[in-house]
Amino acid sequence: MSAIEVTIKELQQYSYQTKRVLASKTLARARLAGGHLSPIKGRGMEFSECRQYQPGDDIRSIDWRITARTGKTYSKLFSEEKERPVYVLLDLSSSMYFGSQYRLKSVQACHLTALLAWATKHKSDRVGGIIIGAFGHKELKPQRQQRGIMQLLSETVTLHNAQLTMSQAERINAADATHVNTENTVPKESLASALTRLRILCKTGSHIMIISDFLNLDDKAQKQLALLKRHNEIEAWQIYDPLELSLPNISGNVRLAVSNGQQQGFISPSNADSRQKYQQHANVKQQALRQIMNRFGIRHHRISSGESLLSQIKGKGK
């Protein structure tokens, strides 16, 4: 498998791993939809058709429009909902194109997208999503079975690899080009804009899985996340690189460039005090993210880009 590129063949391979991986406690706790009770109060029913009123029909089911038009009383018939839409929000923004070992965070995110999508098919739900990156965003309406999955995976491969051919400066310029100079707008590459779109697109009671490093989870994104969680089930899958948590002990006069997205500086991994401060800062950021997810009632999973995805998923099930 490539560490920096994604192929459709690789993502299709996860279809053969789904049954074994679903046995893990991680994905079991994730409740990847299908065969579930809706958390939304109501009948849990979808409109099917109308017929003339019969004795014993619930008067709340009377279709007053047809009744008024025809002069005869008609009742609405409903069928039980047995599936719900599942949305995958895949973050391919600039910070995801980083990796110190094994593979890029963006590549790991694409593989996780495939695994979760195939697991959704196993549960007989519809899958769609939003992919965000320097190109803006791509929306995919939920579709049943393999058609929806293949569309999602195909777009994932195309958009991920297209950004690889762009230089860092080109990715930054593409992202900046999506800015609109008004106070109430956000760049299209941001999590906030994607979450805003999801609020418009997704049906109440949807299952949403966000795959991101969450480095762009600013105040605007948190606000949209809280609003989205009110009527939907949300899972956060955080992709991180080992180097983002701690620095290796490197001897010699080596300096590494570090940035918070706004300012850039340098750090010496050979200095024990510098490594300790770096790790403390990383721990504070991780704790802050966990607190945000706990406050909103969102299940939070962490996946490293420094080792095999399947080994991590299976390992969490032990």
SS3 for 11?
helix
Is there a single domain that holds both residue 97 and residue 152?
yes
Is there a single domain that holds both residue 255 and residue 212?
yes
Is there a single domain that holds both residue 257 and residue 298?
yes
Domain residues for the domain of 108 are: 8-36+83-177+184-314
Q: How does pLDDT run across 43-52, given as a tens digit for each residue? A: 445 556 788 8
Q: What pLDDT was estimated at residue 26?
A: 53
Q: Is 108 within 8 Å of 96 (Cβ atoms)?
A: no
Q: Looking at the domain assignment, is residue 172 inside a domain?
A: yes
Q: Looking at the domain assignment, is residue 262 inside a domain?
A: yes
Q: Looking at the domain assignment, is residue 51 inside a domain?
A: yes
Is there a single domain that holds both residue 45 and residue 130?
no
Is there a single domain that holds both residue 89 and residue 130?
yes
Q: What pLDDT was estimated at residue 113?
A: 96
Q: What pLDDT was estimated at residue 46?
A: 56
- Distance, in Å, from the CA atom of 213 to the CA atom of 223, rounded to the nearest integer, reads 18
Q: Looking at the domain assignment, is residue 164 inside a domain?
A: yes
Q: Looking at the domain assignment, is residue 147 inside a domain?
A: yes
How many Cα atoms sit within 13 Å of 49 on the Cβ side? Answer: 2
Dihedral sign from CA coordinates of 95, 100, 105, 106:
positive
Mean pLDDT per block of 10 residues along the chain (318 residues) reads 91 83 56 41 55 80 88 76 80 93 96 92 82 89 84 95 75 52 47 92 90 95 95 95 90 75 78 90 96 95 95 72
Is there a single domain that holds both residue 125 and residue 274?
yes
Is there a single domain that holds both residue 77 and residue 87?
no
How many Cα atoms sit within 13 Å of 268 on the Cβ side? Answer: 8
- pTM, rounded to two decimals: 0.78
Is there a single domain that holds both residue 59 and residue 135?
no
Is there a single domain that holds both residue 231 and residue 310?
yes
Q: What pLDDT was estimated at residue 184?
A: 39
Q: Looking at the domain assignment, is residue 2 inside a domain?
A: no
Q: What pLDDT was estimated at residue 255?
A: 80
Domains held by the chain: number: 2
Q: Is 53 within 8 Å of 157 (Cβ atoms)?
A: no
Is there a single domain that holds both residue 142 and residue 236?
yes
Q: Is 100 within 8 Å of 3 (Cβ atoms)?
A: no
Q: Looking at the domain assignment, is residue 269 inside a domain?
A: yes
Q: Looking at the domain assignment, is residue 1 inside a domain?
A: no
